[in-house]
Chain A
Amino acid sequence: EVQVVESGGGLVQPGGSLRLSCTSFEFTFSDFWMDWVRQDPGMGLEWVANINQDGSVKNFADSARGRFAISRDNAKNSVYLQMNSLRPEDTAVYYCARGGKLHAFDVWGQGTLVTVSS
């Protein structure tokens, strides 16, 4: 089954760091852009960042630029989101999603909860 699975969420203090991982299954990972999208509990969706097939192009939301980094390891079929200088407003469920030339997100993980609180 084509799927992506996130991990790495948890409770972190303001100013702290966290690294999220996303591993893909049953598709050629290196053929696709990969994206991160987050959702405040009970709120809407916010696009966070993406990375192209070979990792040479990276884009970030204004809220993430300068604090978050995205990377991928095609040998491990995985994409990562390194989050630094975390703020309470970064509290959300973070979803990994498969992107691409259709500019739509067609495969989503189950999400991993990040809570930023003292």
Chain B
Amino acid sequence: DTEVTQTPKHLVMGMTNKKSLKCEQHMGHRAMYWYKQKAKKPPELMFVYSYEKLSINESVPSRFSPECPNSSLLNLHLHALQPEDSALYLCASSQPRQEVGELFFGEGSRLTVL
């Protein structure tokens, strides 16, 4: 069982919809991540929150809007997406920079944009 929980597992949305992906972890990690993964490609970093503050934004289009309400929760708000945004969106968490630790992944939210 993964200790990083993502909902929903699958999402189909139209280009005019507004939806959100949610992620929760209870491991006490203070760094949380959103990755995007296309088929047969490695995970590609989108955003990193460290101590609930956005620390890395990899030039992601503004139609993706992250939010970290508290140290256990991470959201990704989606608006006016394009079909090429269809992908597996992975949430992950880790210990922050002072400590050595691995990245724990959730099972992902598979997004299809019609």
Asked if chains A and B come from one complex, the reply is no
Residues on B close to A: CB < 8 A?
Answer: none
B-contacting residues of A (Cβ < 8 Å)? none
